[in-house]
Amino acid sequence: MSLVFDVKRYAINDGPGIRVTIFLKGCPLSCTWCHNPESIEKTVEKLFTSSKCMGCSACVDACVPNACMLTSEGIVTDYEACLLCGKCAEVCPSGATEMSGKKYQVDEIMEIIKKETLMMDQSDGGVTFSGGEPLSHHELLVNLLDACGEEEIHRCIDTTGYTSEKKLLEVASKCEHFLYDLKVMDDTKHKLHTGVSNVQILKNLELLAKSNVDINIRIPLIKGVNDDLENIKQTAEFINKLEKPPIMVNILPYHNIAQKKYEKLGRLEKFVKMEEPQLKKQEQIIKLFESYGIKAIIGG
Ligand code: SF4
Ligand code: SF4
């Protein structure tokens, strides 16, 4: 079952023009710096923001298995008993309780996308499928890409690249643009910080560069993980061996914004505070890419 956990309209950093971005829930990677922890699990999750809670008990009254309780500590959920039915979120007047992840049919997602046709046409934009990892939802993704193709909507995939060659190439044949993450070149470090090897990811990017799609390479930049010049040199050398160069490299400096999301998910123990890369280092990295003839910018 594929779930959508967010829809962003008027997205300006998810591909060319102004776009609608559909976020699919579930990712095979577990990056230590992930700023969307609600995107990792493929299942529905309950989010709770204690600072928004008014203590009205509407959620407690709505909860059939009594998993939602008002205690001296405030609202507490017994996740063993919780059915993830979402009734508590439906009745919550303040937005303190929310559910992340909703099942949609292809035609329901298309209805959302088609509402923005004018904005997409006027800006040479389109739709972007992001995550989580959109390539983990192959069947749904392929159906959505076909449906967007019939409407002549520009299609972009925002991906970690972690999938099989066969699935990647099928998706590439049905879209126009990829935003492709390159996190860290050293495989041991990659495994340590994302939980998976980068061997298939690099191989997939080589394959993708032989196809017709446009590619932006995106590097989430984290101090002490991948901001060393040796990693950037290896990245630039790898990019220069690709059959077709990317349109550009987008450097995305890490910002510490995820802590609150881990709190809302009740998974604060999983939050790892990483360090933001220094401005001077970011400038050095841009210059280093330029010295290899590769256009690189901060952001995008
Ligand atoms: S999601 Fe359903 S079962 Fe879980 S706490 Fe809310 S109302 Fe209760
Ligand atoms: S319904 Fe919302 S505001 Fe009321 S107690 Fe539950 S979480 Fe708090």
Instruction: State residue 108's pLDDT score.
Output: 96
| Residues 221 and 253 sit within 8 Å (Cβ to Cβ) | yes
85 pocket-lining for ligand 1 (C-beta < 6 Å)? yes
Mean pLDDT of 34-49: 94
- Compute the mean pLDDT over every residue in the chain, rounded to the nearest whole number: 96
If you write DSSP's letter for every residue of the chain in order, what string do you get? --EEEEEEEEESSSSSSSEEEEEEP--S---TT-S-GGGTSSS-EEEE-GGG-----HHHHH-TTS-EEEETTEEEE-TTT-----HHHHH-SSSSEEEE-EE--HHHHHHHHHTTHHHHHHTT-EEEEESS-GGGSHHHHHHHHHHHHHTT--EEEEE---S-HHHHHHHHTT-SEEEEE---S-HHHHHHHHSS-SHHHHHHHHHHTTSS-EEEEEEEE-BTTT-SHHHHHHHHHHHHTSSS--SEEEEEE--S--HHHHHHHT-GGG----BPPPHHHHHHHHHHHHHTT--EEE--
125: which 2 tokens? Answer: 């934009």
Instruction: State residue 267's pLDDT score.
Output: 87
Q: Which of 58, 121, 59 is nearest to 67 (CA)?
A: 59
Task: Choose one of 75, 76, 88 to mutate for the ligand 2 pocket test, by most ligand atoms within 8 angstroms of C-beta.
Answer: 75
82 pocket-lining for ligand 1 (C-beta < 6 Å)? yes
* % of the chain with per-residue pLDDT over 70: 100
Task: Choose one of 53, 71, 88 to mutate for the ligand 1 pocket test, by most ligand atoms within 8 angstroms of C-beta.
Answer: 88
Q: Does 7 have pLDDT greater than 90? A: yes
Domain edges within the chain: 3-42+102-298, 45-97
Mean pLDDT of 61-86: 95
Q: Does 244 have pLDDT greater than 80? A: yes
Ligand with minimal distance to 64 CA? 1
| Residues 22 and 37 sit within 8 Å (Cβ to Cβ) | no
Q: Does 285 have pLDDT greater than 80? A: yes
Architecture of domain 3-42+102-298: Alpha-Beta Barrel (3.20)
Q: Give the Å distance between the CA of 155 and the centre of ligand 1.
A: 36
Q: Which of 19-33, 153-167, 203-217, 268-282 has the lowest mean pLDDT?
A: 268-282
Instruction: State residue 97's pLDDT score.
Output: 97
Instruction: State residue 129's pLDDT score.
Output: 98
Q: Does 136 have pLDDT greater than 80? A: yes
Instruction: State residue 266's pLDDT score.
Output: 86
272 pocket-lining for ligand 2 (C-beta < 6 Å)? no
The pLDDT-based confidence of 256 (bands split at 50, 70, 90) is confident
Instruction: State residue 65's pLDDT score.
Output: 97
User: Looking at the domain 45-97, which fold is it?
Assistant: Alpha-Beta Plaits (3.30.70)
pTM: 0.93
Task: Choose one of 84, 91, 92, 100 to mutate for the ligand 1 pocket test, by most ligand atoms within 8 angstroms of C-beta.
Answer: 84
**Distance of CA 95 to CAs 13, 21, 55, 63, 129, Å?**
27, 23, 12, 16, 26
Cα distance between residue 272 and residue 259, in whole Å: 8
Q: Does 147 have pLDDT greater than 80? A: yes
Instruction: State residue 24's pLDDT score.
Output: 97
pLDDT tens across 220-241, in order? Answer: 999 999 999 999 999 999 999 9
* % of the chain with per-residue pLDDT over 90: 95
Q: Does 1 have pLDDT greater than 80? A: no
Nearest alpha carbon, ligand 1 atom 2: 85
Instruction: State residue 164's pLDDT score.
Output: 98
Instruction: State residue 278's pLDDT score.
Output: 93
57 pocket-lining for ligand 2 (C-beta < 6 Å)? yes
